[in-house]
Amino acid sequence: MASVSLKNIIDEFNLEELTSFGNTEDILISVADVTRPGLQLSGSYEHFGADRIQLLGNMEMAYLDAQTAEDRMYKLDQLMSRGIPCLVISRQHEPFAELLECSRRYSVPLLRTPEVTSVFMSALIKYLNVELAPETTLHGVLVEIYGEGILMLGESGVGKSETAMEIVKRGHRLIADDLVEVRRVSDTTLLGQAPEIIRHLIEIRGLGILDVKELFGVSSIKQQESIDFVIKLELWDERKSYERLGINEETTDILGIRVPSITIPVRPGRNLAIIVEVAAINFRQRRMGYNAAEELTKRLFGN
């Protein structure tokens, strides 16, 4: 099961550690949900997710402030004793003495952020959804062309990297070459990025490893991009019948999501960069409701 360490979350959101026990690297978060434990503080623990990050905002702090010190200690002890990974206080609220005591008693890190509760909660859930998303690694090249994430797949030596370099020279952006880490962040969205060790690098046979960022500047690269369209490159097979009109729609299954795709045959003399660029434009045009093949059919056979 995918997980992210509490230390990474602390670093990502610059959280203040009000109590620290040297265990944030070992505390792993594997659930993207975040709980505001208002019901729990009032005594209801039915369906309580003890593995979730707990967040105290204005309402929870006001409720605790209205309790006597004895009641506050009891309610916080009940919450902290259930093995929660951590507790975050928003809006820079000052922690109650009972909160600090329970944190130390059960070695539960107590953290604080100046952010508004709803803003922090939304950002944290979004971050966890990405970090905990199902993922796979594909052998391919991911580029951004006119805002569309284009994933090129194909056997080694078919020309993916050379095509990507020409695409970058034409003003578009490289996300990943050779290996693409793909995450399913929702039921409809795939995000791709390069492994950190080869980020911004591209391999061209005969030239070796090139740093695209250094060669063409920061505008030529991007950290991650959604995968909107898949282009499969394959060596031209005379025995195979390739799509001529573009009426039939292909899809490629990636982590359970069907992504629109096409197959482009490769042979000497074909300018793959221009073909891929036009394919990206044509894909966008189709998404906007225009299909040239259907338009031709209407012209030939009428409405």
Q: Active site residue: 104, 139, 270, 287, which one? A: 139
Q: Active site residue: 75, 160, 172, 222, which one? A: 160
139 counts as catalytic? yes
Q: Active site residue: 52, 178, 184, 200, which one? A: 178
Vertex 84 angle, CA 57 and 99, to 5°: 50
CA 296 centroid distance within chain: 39
Q: Active site residue: 47, 239, 240, 244, which one? A: 244
For 78, residues 6+ apart whose C-beta sits below 8 A from its C-beta are 40, 43, 45
172 counts as catalytic? no
DSSP SS3 for 213: helix
C-alpha 150/C-alpha 130 separation (Å) is 20
257 closest CA partner among 139, 133, 144: 133
Retrieve residue 173's tokens. 């952006």
Alpha helices in 81-148 (DSSP H): 97-106, 117-131
Angle between helices 117-131 and 6-13 (to 10 degrees): 130
Retrieve residue 90's tokens. 């928003």
CB-CB contact of 98 with 76 (8 Å): yes
Read off the amino acid at residue 92.
Q
160 counts as catalytic? yes
87 closest CA partner among 31, 39, 16, 32: 16
Phi, psi of 56 (to 5 degrees): -105, 120
220 closest CA partner among 202, 208, 232, 204: 202
Which residues are known to be catalytic?
Answer: 139, 160, 178, 244
